[in-house]
């Protein structure tokens, strides 16, 4: 096991797949010579050369148009959209073209491509560069949606996404880039569509994604030590496919479900999980489902305001304790 940062795990996952398969190419804005604006792709240009690692103009439409064409003609492109907010600029290509081409051609066209993007708050970039938009992607049929919380998951899930025959949107939570964790050496491939139970407790189940996983784990420790509330924590990891079997199984054991979501409350991914839980394990629930979310507001850039907008450890503790009393 090597200890890597989340950002280094990105480069490791890409390098692993580019070494294994010459059809894997990588393109985006400032991803080659500069090593990415978040330094998540350092060394790839030197290792694989400008034919396979390409800097593109500042045009999200051009980046994804090129990636789509490359995938249609036999390559396996990895395309970077620098900030997930900028998916709005090229959403037609994502939602109407990439997501639907295989279906509309009855499988004659396959699009094995990965769209990587830095997602979420925590870096003080303001309303246009800090959004958590994974729920945008979750609602589009034809796209797989992944959001890892740990460096090992970054490498393994990114490798699985590259090998998948369908388009995958890969959300990297930008505030996690500096965090370190153990990552398996050598070739490592995880499985898309599988949640992980990181902590087990008998009182309630917390379901979280990306940076909210770490806050949920910290909150679970506080709840256990200070209030005697023992929580299960589930890392969703994959929104599409969604591992409902693992999630519902853990909810059924505790009878209480809390979702912790960075995205705004209206139409967040937790609402879908709450709906499924209400339908599939209603008689196992001992209390109403509770969603702990960012309010439905644009994110502020001021440190104090941003910290008070997205769910914090203290808020998670406070809300769970209030509902468990």
Active centre residues (catalytic): 60, 129
Of residues 236, 233, 235, the one with CA closest to residue 204: 233
Pairing of strands 238-240, 144-146: antiparallel
Cis peptide upstream of residue 241 (ω within 30 degrees of 0): yes
Query: Phi and psi dihedrals of 274, rounded to 5?
Result: -60, -40
CA pair distance 127, 217, nearest whole angstrom: 27
Helix (H) or strand (E) holding 259: strand 257-264
Token look-up 């491509």 returns: 113
β-pair partners for 235: 196, 208
CA pair distance 323, 35, nearest whole angstrom: 46
Residue 139: Cβ within 10 Å count: 14
Helix (H) or strand (E) holding 25: strand 24-28
Helices (H), the chain: 6-20, 44-48, 60-72, 91-92, 101-104, 134-138, 151-163, 211-227, 244-254, 269-280, 303-309, 313-324
Residue 127: Cβ within 10 Å count: 14
Sheet holding 24-28, edge to edge: 53-55, 24-28, 76-83, 114-119, 168-173, 144-146, 238-240
């Amino acid at each position: 096991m090597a200890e890597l940062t989340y950002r280094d795990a990105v480069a490791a996952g890409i390098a692993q797949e580019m070494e294994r398969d010459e059809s894997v190419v990588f393109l985006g804005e400032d991803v080659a010579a500069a090593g990415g604006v978040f330094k998540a792709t350092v060394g790839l240009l030197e290792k694989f050369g400008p034919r396979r690692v390409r800097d593109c103009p500042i045009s999200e439409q051009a980046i994804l148009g090129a990636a789509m064409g490359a995938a249609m003609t036999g390559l396996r492109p990895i395309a970077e959209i620098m900030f997930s907010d900028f998916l709005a600029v090229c959403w037609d290509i994502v939602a109407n073209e990439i997501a639907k081409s295989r279906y509309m051609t009855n499988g004659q066209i396959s699009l094995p491509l990965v769209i990587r993007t830095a997602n979420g708050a925590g870096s003080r970039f303001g309303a246009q560069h800090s959004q958590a938009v994974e729920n945008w992607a979750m609602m589009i049929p034809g796209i797989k949606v992944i959001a890892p919380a740990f460096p090992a998951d970054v490498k393994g899930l990114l490798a699985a996404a590259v090998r998948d025959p369908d388009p995958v949107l890969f959300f990297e939570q930008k505030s996690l880039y500096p965090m370190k964790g153990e990552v398996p050496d050598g070739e490592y491939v995880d499985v898309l569509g599988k949640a992980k139970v990181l902590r087990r407790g008998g009182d309630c189940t917390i379901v979280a994604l990306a940076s909210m996983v770490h806050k949920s784990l910290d909150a679970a420790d506080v709840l256990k030590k200070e209030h005697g509330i023992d929580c299960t924590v589930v890392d969703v990891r994959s929104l599409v496919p969604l591992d409902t079997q693992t999630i519902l199984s853990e909810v059924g054991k505790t009878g209480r479900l809390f979702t912790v979501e960075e995205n705004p409350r209206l139409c967040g991914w937790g609402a879908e999980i709450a709906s499924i839980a209400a339908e599939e394990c209603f008689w196992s629930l001992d209390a109403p489902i509770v969603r702990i979310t960012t309010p439905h507001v644009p994110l502020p850039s001021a440190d104090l305001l941003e910290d008070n907008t997205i769910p914090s450890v203290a808020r998670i503790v406070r809300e769970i304790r209030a509902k468990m009393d």
